[in-house]
């Protein structure tokens, strides 16, 4: 197997290579190739590499309780990657294990790292029930007995890769009593919810892992190490981070890293829209290898999309990415499988290209783009131009030009590399207004150079003066109100 580079390259870009409805509903009619994601990734690996994608986040590839209909978050058997007849299917929603291996190999050959979506909060779809006593502190059925689906034998796998079997004592609680049909939060006797940074978020769903149980810890660490060794993944996206015990996550990251020869990448999903809260959580999950998704920045993009009174000055300090000491480990994004889901979460309806320009061209932050935007929503051409601008021009120190940022316009400059005169760029983002265009005098650090708008939204040439300043323009329109000027 060809291993991808373990260190982050210059100007890296992550691609989330799936979305919630992939291969189902109306999308199955218009994109039939998405019914087998692994084969599709094999076919498109070279294309993604040419676009400048340096890593791909794949969905949970293990067998879920829902079989071929399971997106992967209702985890049943972490070791079944589409190989065994379990939950009424051999393949997962995305294909078979052999097809998954082929996809990882193809991505590696294209120089693209692969990040696996690790669901470390729960199991679901147990093979048998066990009788447990519910804690008197439980909000549901306190002090009573319940029959819960806590026995996981994995009969289809028959002990291959791991002979470990799960019992009720490996979990803290669940949400369903089979005996009475009662639903709710059921905490088991003599158990406690694991210490998270937000105790109100301790329980999420399914059979909740007890991270204090040594057998639970050992098996999850064993699985993470097995996945790196077997599949050759280069890192992990950790699901539902704020519901997981902080101490265990630090241990899991460190132990899985210790067991492999390559430098792994870890990014956690802590859905906290307040930058201060996310910063505190980031400090609690103390592993130096951990990145986090910048949900506060994405919340700012939502406000830009929804609020006509939004001030573009807010982009100067928005998100975790602009917090001193945190920006380099913030994964910035515009949409994901949760924020943009049909019928439930519509996503950003305005200024989405503005948001992509912001995350792709600034100095701080590791940008992630979304498969659904490029392929299902038809944004591929424009986003690919922005990705190419990132690869070719977005180098050197970056900064906002304070005098040029106001309620309607955001201005940002990348100086470029000293010995690379064709690098550097000037970005302007504008809201809709009564004006057709606005202009701003901005410094480039490149005297007597001609600049053109790489996006094609402005058809003009800017020639900088002897001090490297030039007058740059941007349209005041949601449709094309972003401009990225680069050395001609």
What amino acid positions are annotated as catalytic residues? 239, 269
Separation of CA 443 from chain center:
34
Give CA–CA dist 339/356, Å, rounded: 15
Cβ distance 156 to 84 under 8 Å?
yes
Extract the tokens encoding 150: 């806590």
Name the 3-class secondary structure at 104: helix
Extract the tokens encoding 173: 């609680």
Cβ distance 464 to 449 under 8 Å?
yes
Catalogue the E-assigned strands of 181-329: 183-187, 207-209, 235-238, 265-268, 290-293
Catalogue the E-assigned strands of 334-408: 340-341, 345-346, 366-370, 398-400
Give CA–CA dist 269/119, Å, rounded: 11
Extract the tokens encoding 288: 């130096």
CA dihedral 97, 33, 239, 305 (to 10 degrees): 170
Task: For the chain, give the longest Cα–Cα distance.
Answer: 81
Write out the H or E segment, with its range, that includes residue 55: strand 55-58
Give CA–CA dist 115/112, Å, rounded: 10
Give CA–CA dist 444/427, Å, rounded: 11
> What number of helices (H) and strands (E) belong to the chain?
10, 26
């Amino acid at each position: 197997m060809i291993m991808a580079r373990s260190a982050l390259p210059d100007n890296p870009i992550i691609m989330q290579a799936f979305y919630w409805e992939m291969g189902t509903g109306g999308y199955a009619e218009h994109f039939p190739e998405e019914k087998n994601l692994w084969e599709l990734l094999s076919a498109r690996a070279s294309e993604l590499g040419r676009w400048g994608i340096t890593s791909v986040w794949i969905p949970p590839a293990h067998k879920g309780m829902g079989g071929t209909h399971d997106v992967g978050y209702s985890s049943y058997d972490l070791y079944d990657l589409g190989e065994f007849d379990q939950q009424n299917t051999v393949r997962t929603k995305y294909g078979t294990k052999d097809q998954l291996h082929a996809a990882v190999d193809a991505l590696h050959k294209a120089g693209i790292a692969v990040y696996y979506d690790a669901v470390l909060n729960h199991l679901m779809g147990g093979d048998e029930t066990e009788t447990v006593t519910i804690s008197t502190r439980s909000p549901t059925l306190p002090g009573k007995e319940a029959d819960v689906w806590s026995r996981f034998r994995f009969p289809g796998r028959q002990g291959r890769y791991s002979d470990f079997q799960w019992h009720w004592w490996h979990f803290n609680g669940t949400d369903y009593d089979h005996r009475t049909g009662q639903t709710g939060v059921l905490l088991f006797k003599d158990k406690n919810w694991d210490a998270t940074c937000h105790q109100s978020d301790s329980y999420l769903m399914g059979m909740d892992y007890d991270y204090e149980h040594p057998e639970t810890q050992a098996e999850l660490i064993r699985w993470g190490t097995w996945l790196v060794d077997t599949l050759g993944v280069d890192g992990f996206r950790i699901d539902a981070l704020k519901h997981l015990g902080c101490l265990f996550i630090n241990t899991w990251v460190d132990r899985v890293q210790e067991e492999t020869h390559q430098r792994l990448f870890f990014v956690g999903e802590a859905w906290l829209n307040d930058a201060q809260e996310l910063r505190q959580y980031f400090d609690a999950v103390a592993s130096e290898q951990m990145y986090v998704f910048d949900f506060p920045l994405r919340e700012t993009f939502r406000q830009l999309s929804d609020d006509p009174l939004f001030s573009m000055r807010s982009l100067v300090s928005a998100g975790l990415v602009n917090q001193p000491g945190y920006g380099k480990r913030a994964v910035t994004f515009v949409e994901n499988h949760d924020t943009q889901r049909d019928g439930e979460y519509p996503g950003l309806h305005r200024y989405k290209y503005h948001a992509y320009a912001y995350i792709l061209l600034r100095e701080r932050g590791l940008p992630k783009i979304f498969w659904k935007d490029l392929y299902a929503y038809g944004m591929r051409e424009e986003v690919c131009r922005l990705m190419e601008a990132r690869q070719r021009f977005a180098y050197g120190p970056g900064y906002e030009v304070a005098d040029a940022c106001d309620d309607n316009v955001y201005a940002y400059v990348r100086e470029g590399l000293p010995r690379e005169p064709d690098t550097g760029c000037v970005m302007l983002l504008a809201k809709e207004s009564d004006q057709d265009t606005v202009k701003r005098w901005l410094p480039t650090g490149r005297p007597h150079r001609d600049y053109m708008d790489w996006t094609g939204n402005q058809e003009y040439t800017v020639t900088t003066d002897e001090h490297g300043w030039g007058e740059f323009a941007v349209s005041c329109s949601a449709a094309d109100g972003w401009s990225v000027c680069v050395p001609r």
